A and B are shown apart, each in its own frame.
Chain A
Amino acid sequence: MIDPASGLKHLPVKTGPSRDAALSVTSLHLERNGRRIARLPDFEIGAGQSVALLGPSGSGKTTALMAISGIRPPAEGEIHVRGTALWNLDRHRRDRFRGRHIGLVFQSFHLIDAVSVAANIRLAAHCAGMPVDLARMDELLERLAIADLRDCPADRISHGQAQRVAVARALINRPAVVLADEPTSALDDTATAQLVSLLKQSCREEGAGLLIASHDRRILDDVDTVIEMEPAV
């Protein structure tokens, strides 16, 4: 659905969490330092679907990602990932659940410099308590065109290569949804288009939903739908 006023493609209003949805967010209110700062419209992301969470800097996008990834609790609302109410899990289970079902791509990728590209990806499986599927890792490396970097130390690869490693790490555990926080803020137009295309294509191939939190309007044309941060009421 395209908003004629803003020209943005908005998600249809949802009526409740669907068990088939990769991610379902209902009545989400966010707070920082005990003060409500923003709310999110209710939305769902299906497998292979890409959504941009749009808002200016300081509007609470990162706080929203923290709530959706099970890191910091929301003030109010429900978050379901593949039908599981995230905030009903205790901390240990939530950490494990995040590792297994939610892939994260950070603005500066945050690879561990001390180990190789392959070890960075394997760590994501190990931290989530999953067996390391080497064949799958090699397949991801092939698909992301970084197979030749497999044993390369992570601090010796380029920025573009690090992007791809971060995407591979986010996808290794076959997550339900990939959350990307401001992935394009330091990139030029070409690189921005390439990264969003890479994320979108990879998630579609893996059957994962994609939620990109960004203030960068250049990505709008590349995602399926857009939701906007709303001020707290």
Chain B
Amino acid sequence: MRMIALAFAYLRRRWGQALLSVLVGALGVTAVATCMIGFDSVPEAAERAWGGVDLVVGPKGSALDLVLCCVLHVSAPRGLVSQKAALAAVSNPMVRASAPIALGDNYQGWRIMGTTPAILDVYRAKLAEGEMWTDKLQAVVGAGAARALKLDIGDSFVGSHGLSAGGDVHAQFPYKVVGILQPTGSALDRLILTDIETVRYIHIEQAKIEIAEHGSTDEENVANLPDAATAVVAAYRSPIAAAFLPRQIDATDILSAGSPSLEIARLVGYARPAITAATGLGLLLVVIAAASAATGLTSVMNARTRDLSLLRVLGAGRIEITVVAFAEAGIIAFAALAAGAVLVAGLAAWGGHLLAERTGLLLTPHVSLAQVGALIAGTVCVAFLAGLFPAIRASRSPIEELLQS
């Protein structure tokens, strides 16, 4: 029987306490690893989601709102702008492509976005099959939306009012799918595109119906602004544009500009204290797990003095005796690491699914070798510290007392 096997046997004997130490350690590892992964993965997911969009121009208001609503497509629009005015604002040789967008309807919770074919240039997107629309009430579906909604070329569907499922159904205006986009990894994959004139047409017609039936309409803004759009999105030809174009647009009375990269960086900046706090909490859990393991081991070593003395009487050296103490701490630490890794993988899969479902952000969690190394090195250090005091105590076990007992 080797000393490691003896350490396992001792752990089996006090499995409840050992399990508790492993669980606390695993939670600590999970918290630290999740923060390490999340710190990189969430901004990366956001960067993928904004695709090729460098600038979004919308009504006066928060730039972050504009980015969240019109680029990441995770919040509702705050107002409307004149398409003509917004397009004029980005009409600049340093802008590679621009397209207006109009939001307001959805199909089973998937956003229908009125736009122009130029949107494909902004996102550098391509058709996988079919063609772009040539008439009203024709739709081109993003790859993710087509897969989730099981839409194919020639299929029809009816949109409903609002950006989430459950709004009034525009039953009189069925769409026909004429094209499906290739996956881009961006928010475009989750959108149903149609001609911006279709969106205006549906809402103007809806306004007429509502006025005829009730004498008033919720679609007043659209009716009063014939070239209404939610925003204009644009991609730069030259990064120099970022230096002055947003400032120029913000200087106008009616328009605001939002830069996805800047706003996401700002958002991550806001979240950084929370991430740091969560990492700290994880480290605290790891330390508590180590302290729990060390306290448990020390008290167990006290009760095990007789056994350790016996091992010495049987010929074991001090080093072999300390191995038993370190092995117990090491087994607990590596079990916590393994359990933590499983928890992190599960949490990343579940969290990624939830994030994709709620915001469309696609997490591709990955850890670098350096991060894995840091986690393992940290675990080894914690195991060493947890086993140190019990090991010293074990190595000093008085063997004379065994014969006198």
A123 adjacent to B1 (CB under 8 Å) = yes
A106 adjacent to B311 (CB under 8 Å) = no
CA gap between A128 and B12 in the complex, in Å: 25
How far in angstroms is the closest Cβ of chain A from B168? 71
Verify if A12 is at the interface (C-beta below 8 Å from B). Answer: no
Contacts of B6 in A (CB 8 A): 112, 114-115, 119, 123
How far in angstroms is the closest Cβ of chain B from A78? 21
A114 adjacent to B13 (CB under 8 Å) = yes
Within 8 A of A (CB), among B285-335: 306-307, 310-317, 320
How far in angstroms is the closest Cβ of chain B from A123? 5
Interchain CB contact (< 8 A) of A99 among B10, B13, B316, B400: B316
CA gap between A99 and B402 in the complex, in Å: 15
Contacts of B317 in A (CB 8 A): 92, 95-96
B315 adjacent to A114 (CB under 8 Å) = no
B315 adjacent to A129 (CB under 8 Å) = yes
Segment of A64-72, A195-203, A223-231 in the binding face: A64-72
Verify if A82 is at the interface (C-beta below 8 Å from B). Answer: no
Contacts of B403 in A (CB 8 A): 62, 65-66, 69, 71, 106, 181
A96 adjacent to B315 (CB under 8 Å) = yes
Verify if B405 is at the interface (C-beta below 8 Å from A). Answer: yes
Within 8 A of A (CB), among B358-405: 399-400, 402-405
Verify if A100 is at the interface (C-beta below 8 Å from B). Answer: yes
CA gap between A107 and B5 in the complex, in Å: 27
Whether A123 contacts B9 in the complex (CB less than 8 A), given A71-B400, A106-B403, comes out as no
Whether A104 contacts B311 in the complex (CB less than 8 A), given A114-B13, A123-B1, A123-B6, comes out as no
A124 adjacent to B399 (CB under 8 Å) = no
CA gap between A98 and B306 in the complex, in Å: 18
How far in angstroms is the closest Cβ of chain A from B237? 73
CA gap between A122 and B307 in the complex, in Å: 15
Verify if B150 is at the interface (C-beta below 8 Å from A). Answer: no
Interchain CB contact (< 8 A) of A119 among B1, B311, B312: B1
Interchain CB contact (< 8 A) of A98 among B1, B2, B315: B315
CA gap between A112 and B12 in the complex, in Å: 14
Interface string of B260-293 (1 = CB under 8 A from A): 0000000000000000000000000000000000
CA gap between A62 and B315 in the complex, in Å: 19
Whether A112 contacts B400 in the complex (CB less than 8 A), given A119-B9, A127-B316, A129-B315, comes out as no
A99 adjacent to B314 (CB under 8 Å) = yes
CA gap between A106 and B400 in the complex, in Å: 12
- Chain B residues touching A, majority SS: helix
Contacts of A100 in B (CB 8 A): 315
B402 adjacent to A126 (CB under 8 Å) = no
B309's closest neighbor in chain A, by CB? A110
CA gap between A181 and B402 in the complex, in Å: 11
B306 adjacent to A127 (CB under 8 Å) = no
CA gap between A69 and B399 in the complex, in Å: 11
Interface string of A119-143 (1 = CB under 8 A from B): 1001110111100100000000000
CA gap between A194 and B3 in the complex, in Å: 34
Contacts of B10 in A (CB 8 A): 114
The residue among B3, B316, B405 with the most chain A CB atoms within 10 A of its own CB is B316
B405's closest neighbor in chain A, by CB? A108
A110 adjacent to B402 (CB under 8 Å) = yes
Contacts of B315 in A (CB 8 A): 95-100, 124, 127-129
Interchain CB contact (< 8 A) of B314 among A65, A115, A127: A127
CA gap between A98 and B312 in the complex, in Å: 10
CA gap between A26 and B404 in the complex, in Å: 24
CA gap between A119 and B8 in the complex, in Å: 12
How far in angstroms is the closest Cβ of chain B from A70? 10
A115 adjacent to B400 (CB under 8 Å) = no
B313 adjacent to A126 (CB under 8 Å) = no
CA gap between A92 and B320 in the complex, in Å: 11
Contacts of B405 in A (CB 8 A): 106-108
CA gap between A166 and B402 in the complex, in Å: 14
Whether A126 contacts B1 in the complex (CB less than 8 A), given A114-B9, A114-B10, comes out as yes
Interchain CB contact (< 8 A) of B402 among A106, A112, A115, A127: A106
CA gap between A164 and B1 in the complex, in Å: 19
How far in angstroms is the closest Cβ of chain B from A125? 9
B399's closest neighbor in chain A, by CB? A71
Within 8 A of B (CB), among A56-91: 62, 65-66, 69, 71-72
Contacts of B314 in A (CB 8 A): 99, 104, 123-124, 127-128, 169
How far in angstroms is the closest Cβ of chain B from A221? 26
CA gap between A99 and B316 in the complex, in Å: 8
What is B's interface to A at a CB cutoff of 8 Å? 1-3, 5-6, 9-10, 12-13, 306-307, 310-317, 320, 399-400, 402-405
Task: Give 7 nearest A-B pairs by CB, closest first.
Answer: A99-B315, A127-B314, A128-B315, A127-B316, A119-B1, A127-B315, A122-B1
What is A's interface to B at a CB cutoff of 8 Å? 62, 65-66, 69, 71-72, 92, 95-100, 104, 106-108, 110, 112-115, 119, 122-124, 126-129, 132, 169, 181
A/B interface sample: 13 pairs, CB < 8 A: A66-B403, A69-B403, A96-B315, A96-B317, A99-B316, A106-B402, A112-B6, A114-B13, A122-B1, A123-B6, A126-B3, A126-B316, A127-B320
Given A106-B403, A107-B405, A112-B310, 18 other A-B residues pairs in contact with their CB atoms under 8 A: A62-B403, A65-B403, A66-B400, A71-B313, A71-B400, A71-B403, A96-B315, A99-B316, A108-B405, A114-B9, A114-B12, A114-B13, A119-B9, A123-B1, A123-B6, A123-B314, A124-B314, A124-B315
